[in-house]
């Protein structure tokens, strides 16, 4: 008897459990959405708006920030200027930079070159290519005192010859580097026969001609002599023309160097000097993004929540409307989880399509605004690619409760209606 019963149970074991294949789930969910295309589109609208606003806001802020970045010069970003502020407050000739300034600052990490320079306090020095005794025509040119380090840091490009160096500086040699403009005015075309210039009657050997100086525009016009020579001949800076130090730093080091330079130069009294660094691009970007983003992202977030509520609401209504269909599916062998999965797939698909359309609209908005302002569109592709999936997740979350309701409907109750 026992064996017979066991055998019967064996033979009577249910056939394979009923299933819902992923492909069937997909096509059933899609069919569910396409049954009422109008309603599906309206349901998606909240998600479309939310995701679209999100992508557009991110795109527009990134693009706007990108414009700031573009105008933000690399030259400026790697330049620190230390000013002898104490010199402005006195009429006495002052130089608060110690004699070995270049070396002190060079030791700071991130510094490529550094040097002190000032405009020699002569309103327009008379400069000529021939001694005045022999009747040379003098012209007025600015004279600049600079350490070799300052020339290095300024990024001066030579048209001919060389820059003066530590040797000239250490011996206060009467050498000069002149700008191409000055060379033309003075009638100096080449350095082959070691031309000289006369500054206020003092002879200087011209060792180099500067083609272009990107950081110190003053040097593109005048005559540059070693700092020690200038002090020897004309004294310390005065008449409100204080000395400055130009520091060329590595990219990203400017902020730190600016903080350290005054202390490195004058550990006894760093307040004599003040260092100015460019605004950090990160800080600039942050200030732009935070002010714009928070408000609009909050609005986009609200739109997304509204979208989620819309999906949840419509799906719940659909569950109640399609109660008979749910009962039928259960009668045809669907398990509660199959029913739940179907409604979850439908709401997820709604969110996914909403996200897809929203992302497209967001990109389009960014492009239209960008073209209108002749900007360069900038948009992180990860944002665009993630947007539909964010929509899908919203749909999934919104579908959880309706799916639960659908899966717990009693088929016996709903089939008799």
Partner 1 sequence: MTTLPREPPPPVIRLSAVAYTYRGPPPVRALKPLDLVINRGEHVAVTGPSGSGKSTLLNLVGLLDRPTEGVIEIDGLDVGAAPERDRAAVRAHRIGFVFQAFHLLPHRTAAENVMLAQVYADLPRRRRFGAAMAALGQVGLAHRANALPTALSGGERQRVAIARALVNNPSLLLCDEPTGNLDTATTAELSDLLESLCRAGTTLLVITHNPAVAARAQRQITISDGQLEEVTGRPVPAGQNGDRDAHGAG
d(CA 50, CA 310): 12
Complex with partner 1: residue 330 or 405, whichever CB lies closer = 330
Pattern 261-300, binding to partner 1, x per CB under 8 A? ----------------------------------------
Please state the closest distance from residue 359 (CB atom) to partner 1, in A: 29
Complex with partner 1: residue 70 or 337, whichever CB lies closer = 337
Complex with partner 1: residue 23 or 271, whichever CB lies closer = 23
d(CA 217, CA 343): 71
* Segment contacting partner 1 by CB under 8 A, of 12-20, 87-95, 202-210, 267-275: 12-20
Complex with partner 1: residue 9 or 271, whichever CB lies closer = 9
> How long a stretch of residues is the chain?
417
Please state the closest distance from residue 348 (CB atom) to partner 1, in A: 19
**109 binds partner 1, rule: CB under 8 A:** no
Report the site for partner 1 in 322-341 (rule: CB under 8 A). Answer: 324-325, 327-336, 338
**200 binds partner 1, rule: CB under 8 A:** no
Please state the closest distance from residue 321 (CB atom) to partner 1, in A: 12
- The secondary element (H helix, E strand) that includes residue 58 is helix 37-71
**59 binds partner 1, rule: CB under 8 A:** no
Complex with partner 1: residue 132 or 408, whichever CB lies closer = 408
Task: For residue 90, give every residue at least 6 positions away whose Cβ sits within 8 Å of its Cβ, in sequence order, or none.
Answer: none
Report the site for partner 1 in 387-416 (rule: CB under 8 A). Answer: 410-412, 415-416
Q: Which residue has the tokens 């006195």?
A: 90
Complex with partner 1: residue 327 or 391, whichever CB lies closer = 327
Q: How far apart are the first and last CA of the chain?
A: 45
Q: How many residues bind partner 1 (CB under 8 A)?
A: 41
Report the site for partner 1 in 338-367 (rule: CB under 8 A). Answer: 338
> Phi then psi for 145, rounded to 5 degrees?
-95, 135
Please state the closest distance from residue 346 (CB atom) to partner 1, in A: 14
**What are 306's two structure tokens?**
């509204």
Check if the beta carbon of residue 208 is closer than 8 Å to that of residue 162. yes
- The secondary element (H helix, E strand) that includes residue 8 is helix 2-11
**320 binds partner 1, rule: CB under 8 A:** no
Question: Cβ–Cβ contacts within 10 Å for residue 293, how many?
Answer: 16
Please state the closest distance from residue 334 (CB atom) to partner 1, in A: 5
Check if the beta carbon of residue 129 is closer than 8 Å to that of residue 198. yes
Complex with partner 1: residue 21 or 92, whichever CB lies closer = 21
Question: Cβ–Cβ contacts within 10 Å for residue 106, how many?
Answer: 18
Q: Which residue has the tokens 């900038």?
A: 378
Q: Which residue has the tokens 């819902």?
A: 20
d(CA 344, CA 333): 19
**14 binds partner 1, rule: CB under 8 A:** yes
* Segment contacting partner 1 by CB under 8 A, of 1-9, 126-134, 267-275, 359-367: 1-9
Task: For residue 79, give every residue at least 6 positions away whose Cβ sits within 8 Å of its Cβ, in sequence order, or none.
Answer: 215, 246, 247, 248, 249, 254, 278
Q: Is the dihedral of CA 31, 36, 39, 45 positive or negative?
A: positive
Q: What is the DSSP letter of 279?
A: P
> Phi then psi for 270, rounded to 5 degrees?
-60, -20
Please state the closest distance from residue 332 (CB atom) to partner 1, in A: 5
* Segment contacting partner 1 by CB under 8 A, of 8-16, 102-110, 166-174, 389-397: 8-16
Alpha helices in 161-280 (DSSP H): 166-170, 180-186, 227-234, 254-265
Complex with partner 1: residue 19 or 232, whichever CB lies closer = 19
Please state the closest distance from residue 28 (CB atom) to partner 1, in A: 7
**1 binds partner 1, rule: CB under 8 A:** no
Complex with partner 1: residue 271 or 416, whichever CB lies closer = 416
Task: Report, in angstroms and rounded to the nearest whole number, the Rg of the chain calculated over CA atoms.
Answer: 39
Pattern 21-50, binding to partner 1, x per CB under 8 A? x-xx---x--x--xx---------------
> What are the residues binding partner 1 (CB under 8 A)?
3-4, 7-9, 11-21, 23-24, 28, 31, 34-35, 324-325, 327-336, 338, 410-412, 415-417
């Amino acid at each position: 008897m026992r064996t017979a019963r066991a055998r019967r149970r064996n033979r009577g074991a249910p056939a394979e459990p009923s299933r819902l294949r992923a492909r069937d789930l997909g096509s059933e969910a899609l069919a569910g959405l396409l049954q009422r295309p109008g309603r599906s589109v309206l349901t998606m609208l909240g998600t479309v708006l939310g995701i679209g606003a999100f992508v557009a806001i991110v795109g527009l802020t990134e693009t706007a920030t990108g414009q700031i970045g573009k105008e933000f010069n690399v030259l400026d970003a790697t330049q620190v200027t230390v000013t002898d502020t104490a010199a402005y407050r006195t009429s006495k000739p002052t130089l608060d930079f110690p004699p070995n300034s270049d070396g002190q600052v060079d030791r700071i990490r991130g510094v490529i070159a550094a040097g002190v320079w000032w405009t020699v306090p002569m309103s327009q020095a008379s400069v000529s290519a021939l001694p005045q005794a022999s009747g040379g025509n003098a012209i007025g040119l600015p004279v600049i005192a600079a350490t070799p380090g300052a020339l290095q840091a300024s990024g001066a490009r030579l048209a001919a010859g060389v820059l003066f160096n530590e040797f000239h500086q250490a011996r206060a040699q009467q050498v000069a580097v002149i700008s191409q403009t000055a060379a033309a005015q003075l009638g100096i075309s080449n350095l082959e026969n070691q031309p000289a210039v006369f500054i206020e009657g003092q002879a200087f050997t011209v060792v180099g001609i500067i083609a272009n100086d990107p950081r110190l525009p003053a040097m593109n016009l005048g005559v540059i002599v070693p700092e020690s020579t200038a002090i020897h001949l004309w004294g310390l800076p005065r008449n409100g023309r204080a000395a400055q130090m130009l520091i060329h730093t590595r990219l990203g080091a400017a902020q730190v160097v600016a903080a350290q330079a005054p202390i490195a130069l004058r550990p006894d009294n760093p307040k004599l000097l003040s260092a100015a660094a460019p605004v950090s691009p990160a800080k600039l970007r942050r200030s732009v993004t935070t002010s714009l983003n928070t408000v609009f992202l909050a609005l986009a977030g609200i739109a997304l929540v509204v979208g989620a509520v819309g999906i949840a609401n419509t799906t719940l209504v659909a569950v109640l409307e399609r109660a008979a269909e749910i009962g039928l599916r259960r009668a045809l062998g669907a398990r509660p989880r199959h029913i739940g999965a179907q409604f979850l797939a439908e709401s997820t698909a709604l969110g996914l399509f909403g996200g897809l359309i929203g992302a497209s609209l967001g990109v389009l908005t960014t492009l239209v605004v960008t073209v209108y302002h002749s900007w360069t569109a900038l948009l992180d592709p990860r944002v665009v690619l993630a947007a539909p999936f964010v929509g899908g997740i919203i749909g999934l979350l919104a579908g959880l409760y309706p799916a639960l309701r659908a899966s717990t409907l009693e088929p016996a109750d709903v089939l008799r209606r």
